[in-house]
Amino acid sequence: MKAAGRDAAITRISESIDAKEVIALAQELIRVPSVYRKEHQVSARIMKKLAGWGFDPISVPVEGFGPCVVCQHGKGKKHSVGLNGHMDTVEVKEGWKHDPFGAKIEKGMLYGLGALDMKSGLAALMIAFKTIAESGAKLDCNVRFQAVTGEEENSAGIRTLIVNGFFKDVKATIVGEGIGGLGVITHGRRGGSYYEIDVIGKSAHGSTPHLGVSAIADAAKIITALDGMKMRTSNGLVADSGKRLAESQLVLRISGGDVSYSVPDRCTLRIMRATIPGHPIDITKDLRRVVRGLGLRSRVEIKMQMGPGDLLKPYFSPTDSELVNTARKWIKHYTANNPRLVCGLSEADDNQVAELTGVPVICFGPGERGKLARYHQPEEAVKVSQLGIASKIYCSTVLELASAP
């Protein structure tokens, strides 16, 4: 089919989406509490919903969390296009005035836990998925919808899907998480590397501190020196703040000392370096150099942590890729704005997809900026006017991506 004819057909299908249906589904999802590790009920609801629409969804158990839901339209094609969202939320934070599970709409805003992060996105993905299947459009790819769990804790759900082969044939994935709203496509993210710094001093009676070496005093010097380290900046990538993407570093924990009157001989720091694409993810050498420069009397051991969830690489999907271009085109079509391409500052499920599968991935969806960006905050709310538009954009983008083999 010629591009113009194809686009007209895609638009016709996407325009059949009823915004009211997307909003009602977002409300329904908000009304089923799904704090991470307790996603069982919402997972069952999504299963039931998909089955009611005539699909054959499968439930994939995740250790310690509610099960993920995977549902496919089409079969036997060489490739699939993925639509992905997480169904868990953070806890109810202090300060809610609205019922966090009431899903009330007031002055065009839908209030509720997960309104932004990310039950609106999830509802928009689901309706787009259903619309694509019901359209009967001939596609060259399967379309796979995934609702995952555990994103807010450690991405356990998506890792389970990756391990179980659900990304093997995927040629591109859209995550419906819309930090910043529909004016933004997140096409990359920083990663994170974690380090443990062990400071080993020398104990002595507390009344004669000069006879010992205080590990706590030396750890304090290390913390000050860490603050002075120069962070690397990316040449071409932009953060969602609009500034150039840069590393950052934080001491997450300090522990040491005892109750007895003794010179503390042990102090441990846990630090995190947020890393950026194109630059080292292991900065152990940099840390050693900084510590050596201090000439401490304590012995210092520095180890990068490599356990699950400890290390995530930064990633980015090229700005001129088929995935980015197609999403950008349809966002422009439905919002009349050219979306900004940004990199997220924090890690998320898309890091796992990029790192463990190599599948091109981007995130965008209904969301807010500035004061309204109450992610992980009380009074979380989203402008409902975005929900139908987001669903149409997902629908059009996937139809176009799935029309090519």
The whole-angstrom separation of Cα 99 and Cα 105 is 11
Residue 242 CB: number of other CB atoms within 10 A?
8
Q: Residue 38, exposed/middle/buried by CB under 10 A (0-12, 13-18, 19+)?
A: middle
* Smallest gap from residue 28 Cβ to Zn ion (A): 19
The whole-angstrom separation of Cα 272 and Cα 85 is 26
* Smallest gap from residue 372 Cβ to Zn ion (A): 16
> 298 near 200, Cβ under 8 Å?
yes
Contact region with Zn ion (CB under 5 A), list: 116-124, 133-141, 222-230, 394-402: 116-124
Nearest residue relative to Zn ion (C-beta): 117
* Smallest gap from residue 365 Cβ to Zn ion (A): 10
Site string for Zn ion, 173-212 (x = CB under 5 A): ----x-----------------------------------
Chain centroid to CA 280: 21
Q: Based on CB atoms, which residue is closest to Zn ion, 118 or 300?
A: 118
User: Does 117 interact with Zn ion (rule: CB under 5 A)?
Assistant: yes
Q: Based on CB atoms, which residue is closest to Zn ion, 72 or 351?
A: 351
User: Does 88 interact with Zn ion (rule: CB under 5 A)?
Assistant: no
Contact region with Zn ion (CB under 5 A), list: 46-54, 55-63, 110-118, 350-358: 110-118
Count of residues interacting with Zn ion (CB under 5 A): 3
The whole-angstrom separation of Cα 401 and Cα 323 is 7
* Smallest gap from residue 151 Cβ to Zn ion (A): 6
Please, what sign has the CA dihedral across residues 1, 363, 91, 371? negative
The whole-angstrom separation of Cα 332 and Cα 328 is 6
Please give the C-alpha separations between residue 383 and each of 27, 108, 235, 242, 341, in angstroms, as whole numbers: 13, 6, 34, 23, 22
Q: Based on CB atoms, which residue is closest to Zn ion, 177 or 350?
A: 177
* Smallest gap from residue 91 Cβ to Zn ion (A): 14
Q: Based on CB atoms, which residue is closest to Zn ion, 39 or 117?
A: 117
Chain centroid to CA 227: 27
User: Does 265 interact with Zn ion (rule: CB under 5 A)?
Assistant: no
The whole-angstrom separation of Cα 112 and Cα 343 is 26
Q: Based on CB atoms, which residue is closest to Zn ion, 39 or 177?
A: 177
Contact region with Zn ion (CB under 5 A), list: 28-36, 170-178, 225-233, 238-246: 170-178
Residue 239 corresponds to which tokens in the numbers above? 């953060």
Q: Which residue has the tokens 């459009």?
A: 137
The whole-angstrom separation of Cα 66 and Cα 311 is 24
Contact region with Zn ion (CB under 5 A), list: 66-74, 115-123, 158-166, 201-209: 115-123
Q: Based on CB atoms, which residue is closest to Zn ion, 117 or 347?
A: 117
Q: Based on CB atoms, which residue is closest to Zn ion, 118 or 139?
A: 118
* Smallest gap from residue 207 Cβ to Zn ion (A): 53
Please tell me whether residue 210 adopts helix, strand or coil conformation: helix
* Interface residue list for Zn ion (CB under 5 A): 117-118, 177
